Amino acid sequence: MDQLLPVLMNFLEEKARPHVQGKVTEEVDEAKVDMKDSLPDQALDFIKGVGEAGEESGNALIAMIVDRIGGDSLKERIKSVTNLTVDTAAEGMDILLTNGIMNVAKGVMTKTVAEDGEASGGFNFDFLKSGKEGMIDTTMVLSQPVIKQVSGNIGRKISSHLPAAIGGSIQEMIDSTGGSFSPIGMAAKLFMKVAGVGDDDDDEKSGATTRGGDEDDAKKEGGHLGPIQRALQKLLAPKIMEFIGPYMENFESKMNTSLEGELRNKVFNIDYIKQTALQMLTGASEGAGGLGGLLSAFMGASGGGRKGGDDDEEGGGGGAGGGDALNLIGNLAQNFLKNRG
């Protein structure tokens, strides 16, 4: 039975992984689109007090400021920094999540899986007793923490950088109208005092404004540093993560649904495994590299091995013993993958 393990591990990497990777990337991309479409409006609405309980004078002031410094232009600036922040936060996360899921699948089939994802220790016979549905259920349960961890990483990265970037964009537009001492700048500072967030230098010295980003974040897409930027960063820092939460929950839910479909239809599907893994074993596809020796071992086990020599002769790897070997592997695969329920 352990001789079948390298074949199935190769199958998981060469055939199953691309399907899982495709679904993971698809779900990550959809979550990115949702956040890019909605976060700019949510941030601006919160700053203006739309839908939030707050000081009416503060809401009116900031609404006036936002309208005076650009309206749609400001929204486009905030959308630009949001897109950049979301893309950066999600970069490589699809690969990280795919690696985690595939390691879980390998670990379910085997006794141990090393940190580099290499399976070792042979088949997990206790697992085989559970059949196909047990394989799917176990993999889903063990994948939950991986999905949640990646989702949390994306959310934390966005909330750790976007507040400063939005503040920097608004500061730049205020500066372009005459700076903090212009009528708009003075109105903005008044709003910050009414809102209770402050803009004094003590905040910067104490590190209070480090939450929600740093100077590099504030300068994204041409943003400026300044008291309004710092105050807005402080205002948004605790709120952005709240905005992101529902998107991440939706991502986790959809990822679970997609993953279950891939496990059922591709990763642990008996017909798909027989069609692809056995084809890889016989050398009938590009995935056959390095499996000739394994085929010989199975041929020997079924009584149809070659009589010595390194070169294929007269029947080669597909000779009389090949059919017996394929039947043996096919039966093994079918026995441990079939649903025993």
Give the Cα-Cα-Cα angle 308, 314, 320 (nearest 5 degrees). 80
Cα 10 from chain centre: 23
DSSP per-residue letters across 75-94: HHHHHHHHHHHHHHHHTTHH
The SS3 assignment for 102 reads: helix
Per-residue pLDDT at 222: 80
Tell me: pLDDT of 302 over 80: no
The answer to whether 194 and 55 have CB atoms below 8 angstroms apart is yes
Per-residue pLDDT at 24: 96
Residue 198 vs residue 149, higher pLDDT: 149
Between 127-136, 222-231, 297-306, the lowest mean confidence (pLDDT) is in 297-306
Cα 66 from chain centre: 34
Per-residue pLDDT at 205: 44
Long-range contacts of 271-274 (CB under 8 A, 24+ apart): 272/15, 273/8, 273/11, 273/333, 273/337, 274/330, 274/333, 274/334
Q: Summarize pLDDT for 27-39 with one digit per residue, the tens.
A: 999 999 999 999 9
Tokens of 278: 């056995």
pLDDT band for 324, please (50, 70, 90 cuts).
very low
Tell me: pLDDT of 192 over 50: yes
Q: Which of 166-170, 254-258, 300-304, 329-333 has the highest mean pLDDT?
A: 254-258
Q: Summarize pLDDT for 227-278 with one digit per residue, the tens.
A: 778 878 888 888 999 999 999 999 999 999 999 999 888 887 777 766 666 6
Rounded Cα gap, residues 324 and 309, in angstroms: 20
Q: Which of 85-94, 127-136, 162-171, 235-244 has the highest mean pLDDT?
A: 85-94
Q: Which of 6-10, 40-44, 89-93, 209-213 has the highest mean pLDDT?
A: 89-93
Between 14-18, 157-161, 189-193, the lowest mean confidence (pLDDT) is in 189-193
Query: Which of 329, 58, 18, 40 shows the shortest CA–CA distance to 188?
Result: 58
Q: How far, in Å, are 269, 295, 302 from residue 325 at the CA level?
A: 21, 7, 6
Tell me: pLDDT of 289 over 50: no
pLDDT band for 95, please (50, 70, 90 cuts).
very high
Per-residue pLDDT at 193: 67
Per-residue pLDDT at 171: 85
The answer to whether 82 and 158 have CB atoms below 8 angstroms apart is no
Query: Which of 19, 313, 49 shows the shortest CA–CA distance to 195?
Result: 49
Mean pLDDT of 172-196: 69
Per-residue pLDDT at 99: 96
Q: How far, in Å, are 35, 111, 249 from residue 134 at the CA level?
A: 35, 16, 26
Tell me: pLDDT of 283 over 70: no
Query: Which of 134, 126, 124 shows the shortest CA–CA distance to 338?
Result: 134
Handedness of CA 3, 331, 279, 113 (dihedral sign): negative
User: Residue 277: which residues within 8 A CB-CB, separation 6 or more?
Assistant: 7, 8, 10, 11, 15, 329, 333
Rounded Cα gap, residues 132 and 338, in angstroms: 6
Looking only at the bridges linking them, the beta strands covering 110-113 and 119-123 are: antiparallel
Number of C-beta neighbours around residue 283 at 10 A: 18
Per-residue pLDDT at 60: 62
Q: What is the mean pLDDT of the chain?
A: 73
> CB burial class (10 A; 0-12, 13-18, 19+) of residue 274?
middle
Query: Which of 19, 13, 21 shows the shortest CA–CA distance to 277?
Result: 13
Tell me: pLDDT of 317 over 70: no
Query: Which of 109, 116, 121, 224 shows the shortest CA–CA distance to 164?
Result: 224
Between 36-50, 94-108, 319-333, the lowest mean confidence (pLDDT) is in 319-333
Rounded Cα gap, residues 213 and 233, in angstroms: 8
Rounded Cα gap, residues 210 and 325, in angstroms: 64
Residue 61 vs residue 42, higher pLDDT: 42
Tell me: pLDDT of 144 over 80: yes
Between 67-71, 83-87, 124-128, 144-148, the lowest mean confidence (pLDDT) is in 124-128
pLDDT band for 334, please (50, 70, 90 cuts).
low
